Amino acid sequence: MGRIIKFRAKAMSEEAWVYGDLIHYTRPRCEKVCIQETDGFQLMHDVVEETVCQFTGLYDKNCKEIYEGDIVRHTFGKRKDDTGKFVDDYRDIVVVYDYGSFNVSCLSLCLDYVEVLGNIYDNPELINH
C-alpha cells in the first residue's frame, strides 16, 4: 500500500471541514478547491486557503488522523512537581510542515502516547495552554 496523500480545509460555504484531494485552479475569487469523496461521488468545495492542511500519514493513540495544524498532546508519563506529588508529564505540540517535512518525527516513534486535542483554526485557545 502506498503513502496516503490527502488534505483537509474549511469549506467557504459551510465552514465545515472537507477532506480529499487538493486541486489548484483559477476562477473568480477562488484559486484552491478541495475534493471530498462521498458515497462514490466527488464533490468540489471552494475552501478557505489559509486552512488547507495536509495529512501527515500518522494516527494518534485513538486512531485519529493527524493533520498539519493539529494540536497534539504527547504524554511522557508521570513526574514529581515542586511539592513532590506525581503529575502528568506532557507537552502540547502544533504540527507544522516546514522545510519539506512535518515536525512529528519525534512523535512517530511513540504514537501510543499522542492524542489530537484540536487544531489551530477551531481551538486557538489551546495554543497558549
Residues 91-125 have pLDDT tens digits of 777 777 665 556 655 555 577 778 899 999 999 88
* SS3 state of residue 105: helix
Residues 47 and 62 in one domain: no
Residues 78 and 119 in one domain: yes
Q: Would you put residue 29 in left (φ > 0), alpha (ψ -120 to 50) or beta?
A: left
Residues 71 and 123 in one domain: yes
33 or 85, higher pLDDT: 85
Residues 64 and 30 in one domain: no
Sequence-distant (6+) residues with CB within 8 A of 90 are 73, 74, 75, 76
Residues 20 and 39 in one domain: yes
**Whether residue 63 has pLDDT greater than 90:** yes
**Whether residue 86 has pLDDT greater than 80:** no
Question: What is the residue range of 22's domain?
Answer: 1-51
Residue percentage of the chain with pLDDT more than 70: 78
User: Phi and psi at residue 96, in whole multiples of 5°?
Assistant: -130, 155
Share the mean pLDDT of the chain.
79
The number of folded domains in the chain is 2
Residues 67 and 119 in one domain: yes
Residues 65 and 32 in one domain: no
Residues 65 and 118 in one domain: yes
Residues 106 and 126 in one domain: yes
Return the H-helix or E-strand segment holding 106: helix 105-108
Check if the beta carbon of residue 55 is closer than 8 Å to that of residue 102: no
Residues 80 and 125 in one domain: yes
